[in-house]
Structure 1
């Protein structure tokens, strides 16, 4: 059987720097292949090279064959949408910010399938309904949560009917039920074709099945069937990756004597455009306390953070910020989607220079935190579009911690990180919050992570009142 994708000694370099060591693989019909590994290991570059979207600043070596033919980018472009698609890691870079949700999907039916506007509309609404987005059909991407935008990107990408699918972190930022919906949709869409998935989520790799390739620092360290790799891992890195799942973490043990309130919320109702998402929210958050926030995608977790920070007005209720000599920039947010918070017009190093100059920050703190967050110094020479999603998320954490925050709303701060780095970053974030007496509101879809790391939990549901428990 001729493979749908055949790579022979594919490598990627940036000048003299190797980003992906020579790699050979085959993707066959109806046999999924998952690339599992750390952030920044070259997984996304691999997918970009296959589909013909590698940045012009990078060099590709080796042989790439797609659908039985040697790599020919002009020819590949004629197959985009109808025969092959790529789901990008960042939905914000794939969606038109000015188009309503249904239009993003309907456009595919009109342009690829040449349907009438009426038929395209009906099919788009059906697809959105299947992914729980029908009620948001008239919203633009900027009005959606990160998880909702991710689902919209999947709906638009799969509407063309392509059966060769390259999915780059397709389930990040999604709760378990929505994650399973996306996996089922991808597997169904790829029937009779091929599915190549890039992820750092062990559960996603396990559900997809097929074959797995484990990558670390641009090098393949282990490969085999999903059952072989995940049940009896041979390489130390694969073993560490599996062991780093939050369900295996130890419960954080920090002193629980919180005495200094930072924030008091009473009978708060939150929403967007006067539409209530959750109400009757009341809690007090203390210096050094880490409160977890859980709930399904779209229930209002990000809206809660924006309301507390003054980015959105409360619909009802009272928010009281406490403390003396606190500046506005010490009330901060770690965005779920760092591209929305990090400009691509200048290098990351320039952004840090501007920050340290503006706030008179000791530059030695930068090197110290970069080492702890496992960020390479040469990363600062690149722009946000030239680093992985995980690296950009860690940079965002670095930038926030440099300002000695009093309150930090961390919206899925490790959703783009592999389990090993996610564990290290989460523990570092909590340790520094305790040391600096920073109150943290930590959002995550992973209930195991929240249970192991947080002092208290706020659970939000679309149709229920929030519940707080310790």
Structure 2
């Protein structure tokens, strides 16, 4: 199996979105493309697959095992889908059909499905079981954790035996254990001589996969080479900036030193570390179960003014649930939560993981934010001041949520919460879907405001590096057992 992409150019209205010379993909050697959002990474992958949006124009040549395909013809590679090339898409929970059970969706990808549905279903059940998902074959996508949904999507993409696998931002929203499991899944595709192209902004995933790394910026590949070389000793200034945006490299005035060992031990056992700040939230004996699984039991801790606390742990461990209980948006099975009067009048705010779900989709942003200003009788100048402080152009407010980037929308969510000068902000994975550079800019915007107001922060995150950079103590939840993988074989082509 061989794959070569020659002279690819993707344009929209005369603007170049992707432009590359020659890219070769070898069996058994992973290729990972990294870069910030908008650099052209995903468009390159979809140009190979023939799944570009209809409003984009592409030219160039794709050669697969000696057969050449004009990439301007989107339909000429459809016969390769599932047999020769397969795509592991972004956001598997959204990509999977919400009306179909997991096993059936995987079975549909088997090449024998039309002729032998029963045999395809048996193969799907066996594959899902080998991936640790025996109990999930009858489950619907919305009931699965992020890591489980990703494994179902992997099974659906690979059951047909396609030797070329393209993974588009596969680790988005996954915790570190699930990401390690994902890396092992992807590497397993290479063992039978498969070709793997991964698109990601997750540098840790790129390190785990190894092989070759390509760095994209503004539609072009600006640096490429062995992963160990590019990600340890980069040459291009942009690559150095990208690596410098990892939380372990941050140096900002709002950052605080970590607690000492004794204080961390107290914090990890849920005991309150000595603090001079006003008590804002007190949780006593909190217990919660979901779906027959106990998430946490008899957990007690306080949140005081100015504190920065991380709720950490793998997907499904109860981080968001605990945060919502502290906000009194969800009742505990046992225990009590008390709020200080300092949180009245909108001074308790929440930042959501996906800011697009926190704004009305069909309403211009100026109206959404204007409602807050009017409801709380705020000065309009305050909104304009915050727009300037967070580096956003006023004309963005004329657009709807879907018409601006995720980083811009998250900064607008920060502005909306800071309009009320909160005493406590609960930030639920606010940057897990952002690239590293956008994440650093967004967190800087948030923390400068938190620091200015001496506001308490409760951060839900599965990123230990981000937690260490932003918070001073952590409350860990849950343990995920490691995933044992079978030896998957690649066939077909």
State whether TM-score is above 0.5.
Answer: yes
Q: Distance in 2 between matches of 1:94 and 1:308?
A: 32
Match of 2:233 in 1: 232
Unaligned runs of 5+ in 1: 465-470
**Equivalent residues of 2:102, 2:136 under 8 A apart:** yes
Match of 1:467 in 2: none
Q: Distance in 2 between matches of 1:81 and 1:37?
A: 27
Unaligned runs of 5+ in 2: 259-273, 482-493
Displacement of 1:69: 1.7
Q: Of 281, 287, 302, which aligns to 1:269?
A: 287
**Equivalent residues of 2:349, 2:417 under 8 A apart:** no
Displacement of 1:314: 1.8
Match of 1:11 in 2: 10
> Would the alpha carbon gap of residues 151 and 409 (structure 1) be closer, same or farther in structure 2, given more than 3 Å must change?
farther
Q: TM-score, normalised by structure 1?
A: 0.83
Q: Distance in 2 between matches of 1:381 and 1:425?
A: 21
Q: TM-score, normalised by structure 2?
A: 0.79
1:298-330 Cα offsets, whole Å, 9 max, x none, are: 212222233334444322211222224624684
Give runs of aligned pairs for residues 320-469 of structure 1, distance below 5 A.
Answer: 320-324=338-342, 326-327=344-345, 330-335=348-353, 337-338=354-355, 340-341=357-358, 345-346=361-362, 350-360=364-374, 369=386, 393-394=410-411, 396-402=413-419, 404-462=421-479
Match of 2:489 in 1: none
Q: Distance in 2 between matches of 1:423 and 1:233?
A: 19
> Would the alpha carbon gap of residues 79 and 61 (structure 1) be closer, same or farther in structure 2, given more than 3 Å must change?
closer
Displacement of 1:233: 0.9
Counterpart of 2:467 in 1: which secondary structure?
Answer: helix
1:192-249 Cα offsets, whole Å, 9 max, x none, are: 3321111122222122222222122333322223233223211112112223323334
Match of 1:213 in 2: 214
Q: Of 26, 32, 48, which aligns to 2:30?
A: 32
Displacement of 1:387: 6.0
Give runs of aligned pairs for residues 45-194 of structure 1, distance below 5 A.
Answer: 45-57=43-55, 59-65=56-62, 67=64, 68-71=68-71, 72-109=73-110, 112=113, 115-117=116-118, 119-190=119-190, 191-194=192-195
> Would the alpha carbon gap of residues 196 and 250 (structure 1) be closer, same or farther in structure 2, given more than 3 Å must change?
same
Q: Of 249, 252, 256, which aligns to 1:253?
A: 256
1:418-441 Cα offsets, whole Å, 9 max, x none, are: 333323322332232232343322
RMSD in angstroms over aligned alpha carbons? Answer: 3.5
Displacement of 1:115: 4.6
Task: Provide the aligned length of Structure 1 versus Structure 2.
Answer: 455
Displacement of 1:373: 5.3
1:316 aligns with 2:315: no
